Chain A
Amino acid sequence: MRRAKQRTLFFLALLLALAWAGWTQAQNETPYYQSTDFNIPILAGWQNQSAEGVAQFYNPSAQATIRTTMAAGRDAQSAAAADLAGWLGLTGLDAPVYSGKVNLADGTWHSLVYDIDAGQSVSVMARQAGDRFIVITFLESDPASRTRMLTIAQADDTLDTPEPEIDSALQQLTQLRLDDLAAVGTSALPGGDWLVFQGESALAAGSVFGNDSYIALQEGAPGDLRALADAWQGTLLGFFITPDNSPYLWLGIAVSLLILAALAGSFVWRARALQKDLAMIEQLQSADSN
Chain B
Amino acid sequence: MTQRRIHASLAASPQPRLLRALTILATLGFASTLVLGLFVAGTDIQQGPVQRIFYIHMPAFFGAFTAFGATVLGGLIYLWRGSEAWDRIALAGVEVGLAFALINLLTGAIWARPIWNTWWTWDPRLTSAAVMCLTYAAYLMLRAGIENPQRRRRLMSVYGIFAFVSVLLTLFIIRIVPDTIHPVIVGASPQNAQGSFEATSGVVLALLPSLLLWLTLMPITLMWHRYRLALRQEAVDALKLKLLGG
Contact = CB atoms under 8 A, between A and B. Distances in A.
Interface of A: 15, 18-19, 21-23, 25-27, 29-30, 32, 34, 39, 240, 242-246, 248-249, 251-253, 255-256, 259-260, 262-264, 267, 270-271, 274-275, 277-278, 281-282, 284-285, 288
B102 A249 contact: no
Interface stretch (B81-89, B144-152, B235-243): B235-243
Pick from B47, B56, B202 the residue with the most CB of A within 10 Å: B202
A242 B41 contact: no
Interface stretch (B70-78, B104-112, B157-165, B180-188): B104-112
B229 A248 contact: no
Contacts of A270: 229, 233
Contact of B200 (A29, A249, A256, A259): A29
Contacts of A25: 42, 200-202, 205
Contact of A263 (B47, B99, B233): B99
25 contacts: A19-B35, A22-B206, A25-B42, A25-B205, A26-B41, A32-B45, A246-B50, A249-B50, A249-B52, A252-B56, A252-B57, A252-B106, A252-B111, A253-B34, A256-B103, A260-B99, A263-B95, A263-B96, A264-B222, A264-B225, A267-B225, A270-B229, A274-B229, A277-B236, A284-B243
B205 A22 contact: yes
- Give the contact-size bracket for chain B: 35 or more
A29 B42 contact: yes
B201 A255 contact: no
A175 B65 CA distance: 70
A274 B107 CA distance: 33
B41 A22 contact: yes
B106 A22 contact: no
A155 B43 CA distance: 39
B167 interface: no
B107 A252 contact: yes
A278 B56 contact: no
Given A248-B114, A253-B34, 15 more contacts: A19-B36, A22-B40, A22-B205, A25-B205, A240-B46, A243-B47, A244-B49, A248-B113, A249-B53, A252-B106, A256-B56, A256-B103, A262-B99, A274-B229, A278-B239
A281 B239 contact: yes
A267 B35 CA distance: 26
A284 B246 CA distance: 11
B11 interface: yes
B195 to A, nearest CB: 12
B52 to A, nearest CB: 6
A30 B45 contact: yes
Contact of A22 (B95, B107, B202): B202
A254 B4 CA distance: 44
A245 B56 contact: no
A260 B225 CA distance: 13
Given A30-B42, A274-B232, A245 B48 contact: yes
Contacts of B178: none
6 smallest CB-CB distances across A and B, nearest first, come from: A26-B42, A22-B40, A245-B114, A25-B202, A246-B49, A252-B53
A277 B240 contact: yes
A248 B111 contact: yes
B6 to A, nearest CB: 13
B172 to A, nearest CB: 25
Contact of B110 (A252, A264, A274): A252
Contacts of B96: 263
B219 to A, nearest CB: 11
A281 B56 CA distance: 43
A243 B45 CA distance: 8
